[in-house]
Amino acid sequence: MPYRQYDHPSIALARSLTGPLTVFFGLFIAAAINQRPFTSNLLILGILAFLLSGELFDRFPLFCTRSEHKTCSQKNQRVHLLTAWGLTLTLLGLLGMVTQTIALFPPPLVITWGLLVLIFLLAGHAYLNYQIETLRCTQYIRKAIIVGANPLGYQLATRIHQQRNLLIQVEAFFDDRRDARSEPALLDVITGNFCDVIHYVNQFSIDLVFIALPVMDNPRIVNLVNSLRNSTASIYFVPDIFIFDLVQPHLDSMNGIPVIGILESPVLGINAVHKRVFDVVMALIMLIFVSPVLVVVSIGVKLSSPGPVFFKQRRYGIDGKEIFVYKFRSMRGTENDGCVIQAKRNDARVTPFGAFMRRTSIDELPQLINVIKGEMSIVGPRPHAIAHNEHYRKLIEGYMWRHKVKPGITGLAQINGFRGETDTLEKMQGRVDHDIAYLKNWSLWLDMKIVLKTIKLVLYDRNAY
């Protein structure tokens, strides 16, 4: 029972097929425009593009009109659309270079294909969003009831109302209880008790029944489901997982047994492939551009004070495994044991040249090597010294959750003011809160935005020394 995005069937079909079909037939039209036969090579490319775009497009919120969530605005939907198509072309290009088949596809054909698909996707996206709004005024709206007038049932109803592409209208709430355990906002709208559910479902042709009851109410849930077997309504059980602080929640299956993920890394499966490709491409591009800087800085470090050019420090990587993180040495002395003292403003250990490096973050550039090796990412929670980890994990709840992804050269915390020394528990708490927020909201687009904001940040930041 794998996880799937819950949508109206029509929207689910559009979400799954519109993008991939546009990509495939766009290649066919591009070949016709360039007066080239649709050969077996183009057919294979079209099939690969269909499969790859289907996987990528499904990862972005493209059809969620008028949702209150900020990532579902019309502008961001278009950005997601362009990002998904850009990633598809990039990955196909990398595959062509690796397999040495890229020469089989002339640049004019590929350019025409890219532009055509871009135009068709934007036009199709606008049309589909219009159709979604039109469907809300027709018989396609599905009627639902919620069994359980509790905070969970109220939250479910609120989210259904916010997510307009579900095309669901909550008609009524049912519950046997009307006490302190009930949601105050629902006390006046409870239609009936559990025994009234089946009569209401049959009388008003209800399409969906959501059971939002605690698991401890097992006998009542079983009786309710059994009573609904003779109706045509679809039945859903809503587990109360919101009592936990959720990080990448998802539904999965262990050989047929459903399990609910409460805390998981956001970069598993195809997401891990996408992030790894992004890391390697970005690291290689950056290494090429900054290679002259690396040479100059290496000479500067060597001349600034006796000692090695690079400094290696043990840090925790993904899943808490130890790695050695590389930096340009910015101090006259280094610690790498159980007592690591963070650099402070006007720290006597920092050389003048080291202060310049730390202020501009040049000392972090050798970590691109860690990225190439697969130990770090371009974007992720900053790795802390092991001594700091062991200290703060006892003081901050959820501290070690930040190790569910690879540590990064930059991160969400760093672009939000938590860069440099964390000399108080409150500062470290703020950094950890942003790291966990990154886990909850990860996407390639978020990584790109963090990289762009980091470039702006390193030009001048008073928190770095």
DSSP state of 333: S
pLDDT at 66: 44
The letter for the amino acid at 121 is L
Give 383 or 273, the one with higher predicted confidence.
383
pLDDT at 3: 37
| pTM of the entire predicted model | 0.62
Which pLDDT band, with edges at 50, 70 and 90, does 300 fall under? confident
Q: How far apart are CA 438 and CA 443, in angstroms?
A: 9
Mean pLDDT of 81-92: 86
Which pLDDT band, with edges at 50, 70 and 90, does 108 fall under? very high
Give 163 or 151, the one with higher predicted confidence.
151
Give 341 or 233, the one with higher predicted confidence.
233
Token pair for 250: 């998802």
Q: What is the pLDDT of residues 197-226, one digit of tens each?
A: 999 998 998 989 999 888 777 788 888 888
pLDDT at 360: 76
pLDDT at 376: 95
> Which of 433-438's residues contact partners 24+ apart within 8 Å by CB, and which partners?
435/381, 435/401, 435/402, 435/411, 436/245, 436/247, 436/398, 436/401, 436/402, 437/412, 438/379, 438/380, 438/381, 438/405, 438/411, 438/412, 438/413
Q: What is the pLDDT of residues 47-70, one digit of tens each?
A: 888 888 877 777 666 655 444 444
Q: What is the domain partition of the chain in residue ranges?
A: 9-135, 142-243, 270-458
Mean pLDDT of 37-44: 88
pLDDT at 200: 93
State the helix-helix crossing angle for 270-304 and 444-458, rounded to 10 degrees.
Answer: 20
Q: Specify the length of the chain in residues.
A: 465
In CATH, what is the architecture of 142-243? 3-Layer(aba) Sandwich (3.40)
pLDDT at 311: 84
The letter for the amino acid at 273 is V
pLDDT at 239 over 60: yes
Q: How far apart are CA 123 and CA 247, in angstroms?
A: 35
CA distances from 58 to 63, 73, 220, 245, 285 (A): 10, 17, 37, 25, 28
Least confident of 190-194, 255-259, 320-324, 371-375: 255-259
Q: What is the pLDDT of residues 366-424, one digit of tens each?
A: 999 999 999 999 999 999 888 888 888 889 888 888 888 999 999 999 898 887 667 78
pLDDT at 67: 43
Q: Above pLDDT 70, what percent of the chain?
A: 81
Angle, vertex CA 103, rays to CA 101 and CA 106, nearest 5: 130
Q: Is 265 helix (H, G, I), strand (E, B) or coil?
A: coil
Give the chain's mean pLDDT.
81
Q: How far apart are CA 403 and CA 377, in angstroms?
A: 12
Q: Which helix (H) or strand (E) holds 431?
A: helix 425-441
Token pair for 206: 């209800």
Give 33 or 240, the one with higher predicted confidence.
33
pLDDT at 5: 47
Mean pLDDT of 445-459: 85
pLDDT at 325 over 70: yes
Q: Is 338 helix (H, G, I), strand (E, B) or coil?
A: coil
Burial 31-50 (b: 16+ CB within 10 A, else e): beeeeeeeeeebeebbebbb
pLDDT at 407: 94
**Strands 234-237, 208-211: parallel, antiparallel or unpaired by DSSP?**
parallel
pLDDT at 116: 92
